[in-house]
């Protein structure tokens, strides 16, 4: 069939468009602004862009003072129901104190950077624990606690917030024990005479303590200076000078009595360090550590598990699903991608991730993590069960496909047993898999996918004109 002049012009235009769209993308066109924003972020949780269904959105700042800040990202919604698990990020500047308070939620602390001291009431006794990089610790709901950074370096804490016991569904509430005008102490709600009688002091002695603190929930704190308790002294600087003994005496109602502060109690659990623990799995392509209530008894009180994974450049955590729990995670370093699959076999998400991104994987849904070829990727997170998890792998030497290899599975795939055997036994590694030499990283950028779709449409139009 002859092609008219006008049609030839259209064909020429289409050919030109095809050539243009065949040119490789110059880089991060679609994510340019996003990449610039990411470069300004220096800590986990500061920015999450919502690029995929299971990448959680931006964090919400709930506390900010010159001494530190707290940001929280809410867990995802599933089938219309909000999650009871949220992820918090606590940053403490050197010589700072997160004031004594309690929360109506279980807190699972992970020391990401720096060192802090956590003090909390355990069986009517103050227990103090030094937390260093890699330590996890649990503060049960309703337990008064404080966190202090008395070092010269900034500290970062990632916190799992389990709101299953909260007063309000899907949110947590802080009750500050110590405070003044900002934050307000829960003690301030009592009649001043009632409170004075409870403390066995006069109301004039009590009022200065209840009014002077105005620095916010996180304040500068050396832990070594004396405080002037004279009610006639209105010196603002004196209001910030606490010794640890005075702080605890007043906030815990000791009235000057000598009591023991336990730092070595045999009855209080110690912190558990994820980096010092023997990995649950390790090979040449990475390692993973999963901690449950059998490994660390404090996790049983909140029903939450903890994990830490490190993948070498280009390696993959094999496709698998969790039959026991939903998973939440934070990319601690590096970059890569996460793929999630719906029950019907369609792609739920194929998203690029980098340091600071927060993600979640619903229970039963197949997924995998892939590190970029540029370097290793490390991620940490929580699971919604403290029971021992037995992830079911869908590929690799330990996969359920290899275990079920037989006529039934061959029939399901419509292949012979011999063909099935060759397929499922080709991969000799398990759990963490190496990248194929010809593998492009397991993902396409959104820009590449749009380009391919447009090229396909243009080819269809061109074929129609030439027919």
Nearest to 107 by CA among 53, 55, 144: 144
Q: Which residues have a Cβ under 8 Å from the Cβ of 248 and sit 6 or more positions away? A: 126, 254, 261
Residues written for the chain = 467
Alpha helices in 179-288 (DSSP H): 192-199, 203-211, 244-252
Q: Which long-range contacts (CB under 8 A, 24 or more apart) does 69-72 make?
A: 69/218, 70/217, 70/218, 71/45, 71/46, 72/161
Structure tokens at 50: 């919502």
Identify the burial level of 69 via C-beta atoms within 10 angstroms of its C-beta, where 0-12 means exposed, 13-18 middle and 19 or more buried. Answer: buried
Express each pLDDT in 100-139 by its tens digit.
999 999 999 999 999 999 999 988 889 999 999 999 999 9
The pTM is what?
0.76
Nearest to 215 by CA among 190, 232, 251, 239: 239
Express each pLDDT in 357-394 by its tens digit.
999 999 999 999 999 999 999 999 999 999 988 899 99
Express each pLDDT in 181-214 by its tens digit.
899 999 999 999 999 999 899 988 888 888 888 8
Distance CA 119, CA 128 (A): 4
Express each pLDDT in 428-451 by its tens digit.
999 999 986 655 555 554 555 555
- For residue 108, the cross-strand partners are 138, 160
Q: Residue 437: what pLDDT? A: 62
Structure tokens at 274: 């994820």
CB neighbours of residue 212 within 10 Å = 18
**Angle between helices 192-199 and 203-211 in degrees, nearest 10:** 100
């Amino acid at each position: 069939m002859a092609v008219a002049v006008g049609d030839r012009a259209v064909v020429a235009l289409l050919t030109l468009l095809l050539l243009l769209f065949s040119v490789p993308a110059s880089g991060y066109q679609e994510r340019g602004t996003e990449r610039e924003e990411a470069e300004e972020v220096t800590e986990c949780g500061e920015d999450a862009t919502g690029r995929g269904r299971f990448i959680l959105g931006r964090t919400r700042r709930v506390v900010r003072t010159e001494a530190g800040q707290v940001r929280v990202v809410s867990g995802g919604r599933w089938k219309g129901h909000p999650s009871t698990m949220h992820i918090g990020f606590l940053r403490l500047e050197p010589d700072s104190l997160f004031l004594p308070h309690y929360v109506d939620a279980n807190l699972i602390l992970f020391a990401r950077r720096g060192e802090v001291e956590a003090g909390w009431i355990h069986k009517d006794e103050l227990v103090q624990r030094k937390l260093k990089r890699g330590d996890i610790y649990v503060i049960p709901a309703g337990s008064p606690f404080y966190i202090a950074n008395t070092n010269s370096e900034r500290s970062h804490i990632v916190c799992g917030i389990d709101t299953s016991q909260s007063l309000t569904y899907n949110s947590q509430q802080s009750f500050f024990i110590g405070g003044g005008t900002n934050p307000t102490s829960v003690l301030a709600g009592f009649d001043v005479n009632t409170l004075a009688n409870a403390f066995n002091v006069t109301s004039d002695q009590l009022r200065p303590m209840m009014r002077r603190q105005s620095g916010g929930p996180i304040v500068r704190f050396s832990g070594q200076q004396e405080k002037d308790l004279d009610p006639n002294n209105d010196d603002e600087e004196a209001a910030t000078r606490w010794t640890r003994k005075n702080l605890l005496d007043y906030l815990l109602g000791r009235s000057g009595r000598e009591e023991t502060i336990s730092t070595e109690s045999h009855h209080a659990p110690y912190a558990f360090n994820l980096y010092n623990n023997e990995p649950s799995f390790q090979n040449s392509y990475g390692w993973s550590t999963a901690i449950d209530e059998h490994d660390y008894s404090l996790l049983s009180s909140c029903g939450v598990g903890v994990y830490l994974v490190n993948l070498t450049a280009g390696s993959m955590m094999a496709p698998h699903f969790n039959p026991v729990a939903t998973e939440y995670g934070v990319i601690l370093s590096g970059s890569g991608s996460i793929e999630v699959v719906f029950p019907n076999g369609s792609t739920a998400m194929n998203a690029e991730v980098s340091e600071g991104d927060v993600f979640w994987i619903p229970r039963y849904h197949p997924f995998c993590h892939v590190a970029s070829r540029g370097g290793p990727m490390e991620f940490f997170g929580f699971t919604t069960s403290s029971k021992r998890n037995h992830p079911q792998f869908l590929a690799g030497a330990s996969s359920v496909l290899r275990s079920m290899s037989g006529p039934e599975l061959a029939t399901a795939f419509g292949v012979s047993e011999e063909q099935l055997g060759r397929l499922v036994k080709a991969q000799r590694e398990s759990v963490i898999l190496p990248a194929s030499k010809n593998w492009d990283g397991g993902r396409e950028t959104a820009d590449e996918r749009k380009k391919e779709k447009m090229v396909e449409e243009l080819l269809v139009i061109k074929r129609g004109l030439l027919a």
